[in-house]
C-alpha cells in the first residue's frame, strides 16, 4: 500500500457533495487523481492506488456514481468541473491525472479546460468523440442497463456480459462491476454524456505530457485507440497486451508501472 490505507471522506463543493477516497493523504508528494469509468466508482482504482508510492492519491466517485451526488447536467464538462472543485476544496493547486474510459474523457476535459492545473495526463482506453463517433454512439444499444427479471436472471446476464469483455474472467472483478451497476439508477447515463461530448474542441489546448494507454484486449476501445493519440502530438503510447475493459483491476501492476515509469521518464526527471 502506498503509505496508508484508503481513507474515505465527503467533500462539499460548489458542484455538490462528492465522495472521495485518498491514499497517502498525509504525504507532501505530488497529487495523483484517478478517474474511473462508468458506471463504476473509486473502487475500480483500489488495486492501482495500492501499488503507487510517494503520491497524494485522490480518487473521487465521479458525480452520480458511487456515493457522490448526481449533477443536474449529465455532461463530461460538468463532471470535470466537479473534480476541479474537489481539488479546490482539498487545496490542491495542480495534479497529475489518470482516467480510464469515461474517466479518461473527464481527464481530457480537465486538461484542455484548465491546463494550468494539470501536470500530466494518462488517458487509458479513452475514446476521441467527433461527429462520426457521436453518431455511432447515439444509435448504440444499451451496454450496462438490463431489465430486471423476476427470477433474477438479469444478474446472471450482467455477470456474463462483463466476462465477455475480460481477457480472463475474474469473479471478483465481475462481482464489483455488478454491484456498481445495481447501485446506479441509470447505469448507461454516462454513455449519454460521452455521446454528446466534443473532443475535437480540445485539440491543441493542452501542451503538457500525455500518455495514452491502450488495452489490446478491449474490443470497445482498442480498435480506435490511435485516434486519441492523434489529438496530442506530444503523446506517448503504452500498450497493455493483456489489458481489457477493466485494466486497472485485471492488470493493476502493469497499469501502475506504466504510470510511474511515464512520470519518471517524462514528467519528474
Res 2: pLDDT: 44
Res 29: pLDDT: 86
3-state SS, residue 208: coil
Query: Percentage of residues in the chain with pLDDT exceeding 70?
Result: 97
Composition of the chain by helix, strand, coil, percent to 5: 40, 20, 40
3-state SS, residue 103: helix
> Helix (H) and strand (E) counts for the chain?
10, 8
Going from N- to C-terminal start, the domains of the chain cover 7-139+190-267
Checking if the pLDDT of 213 tops 60, the result is yes
Q: Which three cell numbers stand for residue 177?
A: 462491476
Distance CA 199, CA 48 (A): 27
Grade residue 269 by pLDDT with cuts at 50, 70 and 90: low
CA nearest to 141, candidates 83, 196, 188: 188
Checking if the pLDDT of 61 tops 90, the result is yes
Phi, psi of 53 (to 5 degrees): -110, 155
Q: Which three cell numbers stand for residue 16?
A: 455538490
Res 96: pLDDT: 97
Res 84: pLDDT: 98
**8 A C-beta contact, residue 85 and residue 14:** yes
**8 A C-beta contact, residue 252 and residue 45:** no
CB atoms within 10 A of CB 141: 6
pLDDT digits (tens, 9 = 90+) for 221-236: 999 999 999 999 999 9
pLDDT digits (tens, 9 = 90+) for 8-29: 999 999 999 999 999 987 778 8
pLDDT digits (tens, 9 = 90+) for 162-191: 999 999 999 999 999 999 999 998 999 999
Query: Percentage of residues in the chain with pLDDT exceeding 90?
Result: 88
Q: Which helix (H) or strand (E) holds 124?
A: strand 118-124
Provide the whole-model pTM: 0.96
Residue reference for cell 497517502: 24
Going across the sheet that includes 210-215, the strands are 7-13, 16-23, 56-60, 31-35, 95-100, 118-124, 210-215, 236-240
Distance CA 126, CA 107 (A): 9
Architecture of the 7-139+190-267 domain = 3-Layer(aba) Sandwich (3.40)
Phi, psi of 263 (to 5 degrees): -65, -40
Question: Which DSSP string corresponds to 236-250?
Answer: EEEEETT--TTHHHH
SS (H, E, C) 59-81: EECCCCCCCCCCCCCCCHHHHHH
Average pLDDT, integer, range 100-107: 99
The Cα angle at residue 21 between residues 28 and 50, in degrees rounded to 5 = 70
Amino acid at each position: 500500500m502506498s503509505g496508508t490505507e484508503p481513507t474515505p471522506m465527503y467533500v462539499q463543493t460548489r458542484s455538490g457533495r462528492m465522495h472521495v477516497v485518498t491514499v497517502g493523504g498525509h504525504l507532501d508528494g505530488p497529487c495523483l487523481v484517478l478517474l474511473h469509468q462508468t458506471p463504476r466508482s473509486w473502487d475500480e482504482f483500489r488495486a492501482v492506488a495500492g501499488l503507487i508510492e510517494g503520491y497524494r492519491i485522490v480518487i473521487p466517485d465521479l458525480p452520480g456514481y458511487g456515493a457522490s451526488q448526481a449533477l443536474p447536467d449529465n455532461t463530461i464538462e460538468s463532471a470535470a468541473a466537479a473534480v476541479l472543485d474537489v481539488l479546490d476544496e482539498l487545496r490542491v493547486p495542480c495534479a497529475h491525472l489518470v482516467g480510464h474510459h469515461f474517466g479518461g474523457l473527464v481527464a481530457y476535459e480537465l486538461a484542455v479546460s484548465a491546463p494550468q492545473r494539470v501536470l500530466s495526463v494518462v488517458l487509458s482506453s479513452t475514446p476521441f468523440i467527433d461527429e462520426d463517433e457521436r453518431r455511432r454512439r447515439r444509435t448504440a444499444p444499451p451496454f450496462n442497463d438490463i431489465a430486471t427479471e423476476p427470477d433474477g436472471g438479469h444478474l446472471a446476464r450482467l455477470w456474463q456480459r462483463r466476462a465477455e469483455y475480460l481477457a480472463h474472467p475474474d469473479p471478483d472483478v465481475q462481482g464489483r462491476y455488478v454491484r456498481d451497476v445495481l447501485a446506479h439508477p441509470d447505469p448507461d447515463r454516462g454513455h449519454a454524456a460521452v455521446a454528446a461530448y466534443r473532443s475535437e474542441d480540445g485539440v491543441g489546448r493542452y501542451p503538457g505530457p500525455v500518455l495514452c494507454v491502450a488495452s489490446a484486449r478491449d474490443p470497445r476501445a482498442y480498435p480506435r485507440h490511435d485516434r486519441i493519440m492523434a489529438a496530442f502530438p506530444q503523446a506517448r503510447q503504452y500498450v497493455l497486451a493483456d489489458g481489457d475493459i477493466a485494466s486497472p483491476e485485471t492488470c493493476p501492476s502493469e497499469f501502475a508501472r506504466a504510470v510511474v515509469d511515464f512520470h519518471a521518464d517524462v514528467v519528474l526527471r
